[in-house]
Structure 1
Amino acid sequence: MHYVTYGISDESSMLRNRRGQMNTGEQSPVSTHHESTQENTEDDRLSEGDSQSLNGTSAQHNQGIYSPKNEAQSTAFFLLVVFLAFSTRLYKIMEPPHVCWDETHFGKMGSYYINRTFFFDVHPPLGKMLIGLAGYMTGYDGTYPFLKPGDKYEHHNYWGMRGFCASLGSCLPPFAYLTVLELSQSSTAALITAAVLAFDTGCITISQYILLDPILMFFIMGAVLSMVKFNRQRCRPFSAPWWFWLVLTGVNLSGALGVKFVGLFVILLVGMNTAWDLWSLLGDLHLSLMDFGKHLLSRVFGLILLPLFLYVTIFAVHFVVLNKSGPGDGFFSSAFQSRLIGNNLHNASMPEYLAYGSIITVKNLRIAGGYLHSHWHLYPEGVGAKQQQVTAYLHKDYNNMWLVHRSNDSDAQSEPDLVRHGDIIRLEHKGTTRNLHSHLHEAPLTKKHFQVTGYGINGTGDPNDLWQVEVCGGRKGDLVKVLRSKVRFLHRATGCVLYSSGKTLPKWGWEQVEITCSPYLKETPNSQWNIEDHINTKLPNISLSVLKPHFLEILLESHIVMIRGNSGLKPKDNEMSSKPWHWPINYQGLRFSGVNETEYRVYLLGNPVIWWLNLVGLGLYMVMVAVASLALRRGVQLDKRRIEHCRVLMEGGGLLLLGWFLHYVPFYTMGRILYYHHYFPAMLFSSMLTGITLDTLLQSADLWLRPPYSHWLLRGGQAMLFLAILNSFYMFHPLSYGMRGPLAHDPDSTMAGLKWMDSWEF
């Protein structure tokens, strides 16, 4: 079985060579307590794995010395893990009976799907679709508003959505058990991993509420399990199980990406594993190029084309279901809005090309850029010139209307005159009759930009009211199309460009969005606009249905909006964010429910014993791999069992270490706001690595002690480990299942003495 083991390929080669030496009869001085019959069986397996080739595909490593004692024990352990996982996550699933943390977002979005109301979110739609489907299938009618955390659910049926998320979260320990069992062939390592995840208060809490995280982690773990199962089928290429696990890996990859863009990390993990696998196949001299081509094409189908098709299908369903106008309209282009039932652009008709004398609304192309807007209020004293405010407003309003005039005030013509690329125009605000104006005063918030105001009266102003129309990508004489053309307005006097900064004005600006004139002329969505509403009685109207974007256009726009929205997430006032280095050390949790001692409190915090054990496991793994690599380099004689330990650490552990790295380190490069719960996918890999590392360490007790003392140390260490996990869960379980009464700093609190870090808030 070949895993992604970058940087340890030389050691893996040494392991294969060592194993070959053992098969030729070379004896090792290192003792082992395996029975001779088991060793003979393993010798046969290893010899067979080294010599056999099916369709040119090496069968090495398909069987290992870590195979469970018997299948009945493995099955019993698995059933125990399933019972523990579901019982810990479904316990008190109805508590508390009010909205907790981000349920206010994702519960509301589930309601939107039931009501078919369009909304905007920075994540792909699959998770919210499944939440909505779970609610619909369990009798929820989509009428609860999910306004804010703490609101009572009352008679509304919310258990189905919570139960669905908890059920998917309950699959994580069994998936981890099976994954580690495949990688290590040790039921003990698998059981340690499952216990770590089953009794972690953080994993329990994040699985019990209406959130995307348990759905995301379900698909991530499903993809990893399917991948290692597929790797185990290498000696049986193109068989039914081989195809099953390949296709299931692709399905889980599309699911992970369809819930959150974090799914890209597991796609990268599977991609690196696949690249290494194909590289190994290419080096197999028993494999013809024709057969290698079949392997390559099958992986392209199962791991690229199939996930891509399913991912696009998710969005197709999303667009079909959410066909009614809703709170997400303003985040999207005017053309996009024209397809939504109830939007003023849906089935509307208006002139196709912009003309002088038209009444228009102008929408900025930045996410939530808003409509160009003005009102009678003036900029306050000390904020540029004390002239009329010009802002961007996120909602449709009469004060978004503007009249288009020629630069010379002469609009009276019998025939309509169309506006073209390069024309000089004036924009007069219809409600106040003041012109769109700019000058060399600095903008209110963006100090390197110029202020934009409303100036003049009844359309009469000065040369600072003149703007040049520029169609992005256009040439002189090109017409301005309603909805479709991206337009910029260049100020003639200063050379700056009309710009929506995205910054929120203070109370004096009614907390609307700042409009400036930017001296930086690079084309960005902030400086690009389109004409949305268009009224001109001299021009023939066309139905906007002919301007509706096709599926690929709205798919692309949705992704651009999501990516920009995701990268633009910033902390709100007094909002608690965290840094990536906080996460592995369990520095700070998240309040899910309640703050003071009279409230029902739930606090998202990983079981500190387990999380710090994972940190120790990471350190031990590095040391053990370094020692194993050094021993191999120095030619130390090792028996088969020790060689198998090294293989499991380097190949199985290497895969899990890579998974942890890919799901954790990229957050250091992100500029958006980050939260503690972002670490949980990486924590899954860290926990699996801990299971393999600690089991290998305990299995190596005979390096220091002779039997029976080594066996006593092995069993005693395992017992102490499981007892420590159970005891820590008993101590910290109120974090997940709810606390009332005094806070932890009070000696009378049920959590007294358990606030081990001052940064914890329970």
Structure 2
Amino acid sequence: MSSFQLNEDRDNLRKRKTDEPLPIDPNDGIIVDRDVKKTLPATGYGTWKHILLDVVGPLALTFLSFYLRFYRIGKNNNVVWDEAHFGKFGSYYLKHEFYHDVHPPLGKMLIALSEWLTGFDGDFAFESGATYKNGMNYVFMRKFNATFGALCVPVTFFTSKWLGFAYPTMYLVTTMVTLEHSFIVLSKFILLDSMLLFFTATTFACMAKLHNLRNTQFTRTWSLWMLLTGLSIGCVCSVKWVGILVTAVVGLYTIIDLFRLFHDKSVTRLQYTKHWIIRILDLILIPFLVYLFCFKIHFALLYKSGTGDASTNSLFQVNLEGTQIQNSPRDVMFGSVVTIRSHGLSPNLLHSHIQSYPDGSRQGQVTGYGHSDSNNNWQFQFARTSGIHLDENGKTPNGELIPVVDGLTVRLVHNNTRSNLHSHEIPSHVSRGNFEVSRYGSETKGDEKDDWVIEIVDQLRSSNYDFPEEDPSMLHPISTFFRLRHKELGCYLSSTGMAYPQWGFSQAEIVCKYSWSKRDKSTWWNVEDHWNDQLEADEDYSPPASKFWTDFILINFAMASSNNALIPDPDKYDNLASEAWEWPILYTGLRLCGWDLSNTRYYLLGSPFNTWASTLTIILLPLLLFSIFYQWRRQTIQITEPHWWTLIMQCGFPLVGWLSHYLPFVVMGRVTYVHHYVPALYFAIMVFGFAMNYWVYPKHPLISIPVYLAMFSGCIYIYYYFSPLCQGMDGAPMKYLYLEWFRSWDIVV
């Protein structure tokens, strides 16, 4: 019998009414049971077999998974690898200090939960390689994290079941995930990778389950799994932005499914509209709300000033407890010294320093910089064309204080270098289509290109409604949003969200750009700090409350900007970084901790069996698919619509999952590490499962059984052989020389 032929009983099942549940057999679709009488679940497996195969088996593998991930988990009592980051981020939640990171907050809030459950008070710096202090239950924190890694095993089992794999394939794939060295070692520490893998696996599992329920849509069960899919998407994207990659896989499946329904004549227009609505609600709105809710909790917990203040706007910072922004005089005057913060993608302060541009005008650099620095200070002075100059005390010749108001032309003088904010028709250095902004001249040297026009775009009231309403035409710190239009060129001072190269210290690019919209936030600025010895601060003033939506959008743009800044430094050798081509062939691994003899050492390297077997499968997969299509075209096999769907689910989507999680790291310019291959490896193992299910399982038992036994034996033996890499290496390095199969594996030296 062809592996694509379905027996008569199963064809009859598919002719049932669409509102009746379709029994799902692990061998449905591409592979059918060797014995036709054993095709249907109700007659093929007795209750005891069902309990043994579907309950006892996965429970045993789950128990083994927990054991391997918990084993010797506290042996190394030092801060290992990125525990220095994520353990510290968790402690910030306990201390309520605001921080900034490149990843969304869900994973780090879960780490904070594990720390809180141990009674940890946040009083530990998590410095890399530091020894955990006495009384700090870091073992529980690690076990909490390892639980997510261990639970990937039952998720894998039922995913492979719902994909329609035969039981030998289901158990082989699940065993591979259970014994995968990279999955185990990353689960042992306070990291985000096991959480990312778990939610990636649950998202794919939900998609597979939805496919099995495709003939029972709008039932309670289908609706529940649709909701669970949306929740899982929201969680995976809230741990790391990499979660958008598995979201794309679900999105592709959804598009194909809607296309199928569009051509289904039994589906009315009203039903088809309902299909769209429920998918928009569950697969778009629900994930977004989960993501949004995570940031709502994030902001609520981090209400004190902390290390991440510089990544946020002035309103957010000034409302933090213990803010570094001091109450200042409310009216900005000519002669006032100020710092000016952008509302653009990089909410940095306008900054300059003594260095000059390496090309272009070769005048002084003007950048955006988030942290407190005297080079952020600028002074408002009269326009070059006005002929009015301040005296040495910052006063006008007659001693009168003149406010900075809407429509007035001003000159901004850098306080440290006493040169002017300047622009001219020289192209910007990073972005295209804009003009360079530079620091040029002095009080006596300059021209009309030093002049800028104030355009006030918004004024916010004090949160203290007893405080009198301020003049909306005047410039006030914090509450006035304004633009600076170049007097001669007509372009606006702007932060592009891009960063200068190393010659600009990777600081934000500042340009003069033509803006056709008053709402272009990249051209909006506000005064943050304000100093004027001739004025006094008004202690009754309370700043406006920040808006959640503004904070949410800006912090996400700040995350994107920080991610874009994670590029390799050509002047610095990173011995931990690796390139994407190295991962599928295990060219190199990664030392997770210090390598001295006093440490229990861990080496991040995928299982050679799992990685090489899955990589070889992906390489050979085009030949397999060509053979299937060739036989179909020659009509030597019959492929019906259910067969196509099974082929797509068992092979197509795991392959798309691998490609979507691997290729972005091939083309991206940011620095990459071995652990970035972990989600892709999960999908590669699924592709290997398909190949076994198609190539091996249908063969005669005299062939298939020995092959499966060889695969199980190889997987188990390779785990045992390389187990010191993930379970910890103690003592003399030469004891582990046998593990260093290649020189590029720096396990020993």
Fold match (TM-score > 0.5): yes
* Whole-angstrom distance in 1 between the partners of 2:485 and 2:508: 13
Q: What does residue 403 of structure 2 align with?
A: 417
* Change in CA separation of 1:671 and 1:234 when aligned onto 2, cut-off 3 Å: same
Which residues of 2 match residues 301-450 of structure 1 at below 5 A? 301-345=281-325, 348=327, 350-351=329-330, 354-363=332-341, 371-372=349-350, 394-397=370-373, 400-407=376-383, 408-409=388-389, 411=396, 412=398, 414=400, 416-421=402-407, 423-427=409-413, 429=415, 434-436=418-420
2:583 corresponds in structure 1 to: 583
What SS does structure 1 have at the residue aligned with 2:123?
Answer: coil
- Give the equivalent residue in structure 1 for 2:450: 466
1:169 to 131, 149, 157: 149
Question: 1:721 maps to which residue?
Answer: 711
- Aligned match of 1:751: 737
In the alignment, structure 1 residue 267 sits paired with structure 2 residue 247: yes
The residue correspondences of 1:204-215 to structure 2 (distance < 5 A) are: 204-215=184-195
Aligned mate of 1:129, from 79, 89, 109: 109
Name which of 5, 8, 18 aligns with 1:54.
18
Q: Which amino acid aligns with 2:52?
A: Q
Q: Which residue of 2 aligns with 1:667?
A: 665
Shift of the 379–286 alpha-carbon distance from structure 1 to 2, 3 Å rule, reads closer
CA contact (8 A) 1:617 1:694 kept: no
Offset at residue 614 of structure 1 (A): 0.6
**Structure 2 match to 1:625:** 625
Per-residue CA shift, 1:50-77, capped at 9, x if unaligned? Answer: x112349999999823668431232222
Give CA deviations for 1:711-755 in whole Å, capped at 9, x if unaligned: 122211111111111111111111111223444xxxx43232532
Shift, 1:560, TM fit: 1.1
Q: Which residue of 2 aligns with 1:4?
A: none
Give the C-alpha shift of residue 756 in structure 1. 2.8
Contact 2:351 2:368 in 1 (8 A): yes
Matches within 5 A, 1:685-704: 685-701=683-699
Alignment of 1:168-247 (within 5 A): 168-247=148-227
The amino acid of 1:752's aligned partner reads Y
Q: Is the 8 A contact 1:57 1:234 kept in 2?
A: no
2:468 maps to none
Q: Which amino acid aligns with 1:73?
A: L
Q: Could you say which residue in structure 2 is the equivalent of 1:156? A: 136
- Determine the structure 1 residue equivalent to 2:573: 574
Q: CA shift at 1:362, angstroms?
A: 2.6
How far is the alpha carbon of 1:570 from its aligned partner? Answer: 1.7
Distance 1:616 1:655 in 2: 18
Question: In the alignment, what sits opposite 1:704?
Answer: none
| Structure 2: gaps spanning 5 or more residues | 34-40, 391-395, 459-471
| C-alpha RMSD of the superposition | 4.2
Could you tell me which amino acid in structure 1 is paired with residue 657 of structure 2?
A: G
**Shift in Å at residue 129 of structure 1?**
0.6
Return the alpha-carbon distance in structure 2 between the equivalents of residues 151 and 592 of structure 1. 15
Structure 1 residue 318 displacement after superposition: 0.8
Structure-2 residue corresponding to 1:84: 64
**1:135 Cα deviation from its structure 2 partner:** 1.1
Q: Aligned match of 1:562 in 559, 563, 569?
A: 559
More deviation, 234-243/653-662: 234-243
CA 1:670–1:505 in structure 2 vs 1: closer, same or farther (change >3 Å)? closer
Distance 1:479 1:580, change over 3 A: farther
1:632-679 per-residue CA deviation (whole Å, 9 max, x = no partner) reads 221115699xx9988644432222112222222223332322222111
For 1:467 and 1:496, locate their aligned partners in 2 and report how far apart those are by CA, in whole Å. Answer: 12
The two structures have a TM-score, normalised by structure 2, of 0.82
Native 8 Å contact 1:496 1:517 kept in 2: no
Q: Distance in 1 between matches of 2:313 and 2:17?
A: 57
How far 1:181 moved relative to its partner? 1.0
Deviation, 1:391, is 7.7
2:461 aligned partner = none
Offset from partner CA, 1:369-424 (integer Å, 9 cap, x none): 7545679xx769x9999999988665335564433221321534646332434613
Q: Secondary structure at the match of 1:751?
A: helix
Partner AA of 1:661 in structure 2: L
Contact 1:59-1:234 within 8 A present in 2 as well? no
Which ranges of structure 1 fall in alignment gaps of 5 or more residues?
1-11, 24-42, 702-709
Task: Say whether the 8 Å CA contact 2:21–2:213 is kept in structure 1.
Answer: no
Question: Given residue 406 of structure 1, which amino acid in structure 2 is its aligned partner?
Answer: F
User: Does residue 624 of structure 2 align to residue 656 of structure 1?
Assistant: no
Q: Between 263-272 and 294-303, report the one with greater CA deviation.
A: 294-303
Q: What is the rounded CA distance, in whole Å, between the counterparts of 2:278 and 2:137 in structure 1?
A: 45
Determine the C-alpha separation between the residues in 1 that align with 2:491 and 2:441.
18
Q: Deviations over 1:492-519 (max 9, x none)?
A: 799997989855889xxxx977799868
> Is contact 1:391-1:513 (8 Å) kept?
no
Q: 2 CA distance for matches of 1:130 and 1:528? A: 36
The one-letter amino acid of 2:16's match is: Q
Q: CA 1:513–1:471 in structure 2 vs 1: closer, same or farther (change >3 Å)? A: farther
Letter in 2 for 1:711: P
Residue of 257, 265, 268 corresponding to 1:285: 265
Pairwise CA distance, 1:328: 0.3
| 366-375 vs 199-208, which moves further | 366-375
Amino acid at match of 1:53: K
Q: Once the 2 structures are TM-superposed, how far is the Cα of residue 358 of structure 1 from its aligned partner? A: 2.2
Change (3 A) 1:170 1:421: farther
Q: Tell me the distance in 2 between the aligned counterparts of 1:631 and 1:385.
A: 67
Specify the code of the residue in structure 2 equivalent to 1:423.
T
1:552 alignment partner AA: W
How high is the TM-score relative to the length of structure 1?
A: 0.80
Counterpart AA for 2:683? F
Partner of 2:477: 482
Deviates more, 1:561-570 or 1:659-668: 659-668
C-alpha distance in structure 2 between counterparts of 1:86 and 1:759, whole Å? 28
Taking the aligned partners of 1:516 and 1:221, their CA distance within structure 2 comes to 39
Q: Cα deviation per residue 1:691-721 (whole Å; 9 max; x = unaligned)?
A: 23213322232xxxxxxxx312221111111
Spell out, residue by residue over 1:290-313, the C-alpha distance to the aligned partner (whole angstroms, 9 max, x if none): 333333322222222222222211
Cα drift, residue 595 of structure 1: 3.0
Counterpart of 2:382, as a letter, is R
Flag the 1:646–1:717 CA change in 2: closer, same or farther, 3 A: farther
Aligned residue type for 2:18:
L
Secondary structure of the corresponding residue to residue 424 of structure 1: strand
Change (3 A) 1:516 1:651: closer
For residues 632 and 352 of structure 2, the distance between their equivalents in structure 1, rounded to whole angstroms, comes to 75
Distance in 1 between residues matched to 2:166 and 2:109, nearest whole Å: 38
Question: Are 1:609 and 2:605 counterparts?
Answer: no
Hey, what does 1:71 align to over in structure 2? 50
The amino acid that maps onto 1:132 is A
Work out the number of aligned pairs and report it: 697
Q: Does 1:732 align with 2:725?
A: no
- Please say if residues 312 and 347 of structure 2, whose CA atoms lie closer than 8 Å, have aligned partners that are also in contact: no
The residue aligned with 2:530 is 534
Q: Secondary structure at the match of 2:338?
A: strand
Question: How high is the sequence identity, in percent, across the aligned residues?
Answer: 27
Q: Aligned partners of 1:60 and 1:276: how far apart in 2?
A: 21
Per-residue displacement from partner, 1:179-208 (whole Å, max 9, x unpaired)?
011112422111111111111111111111
Q: Which moved more, 1:325-334 or 1:414-423?
A: 414-423
Please tell me whether residue 96 in structure 1 is matched to residue 76 in structure 2.
Answer: yes
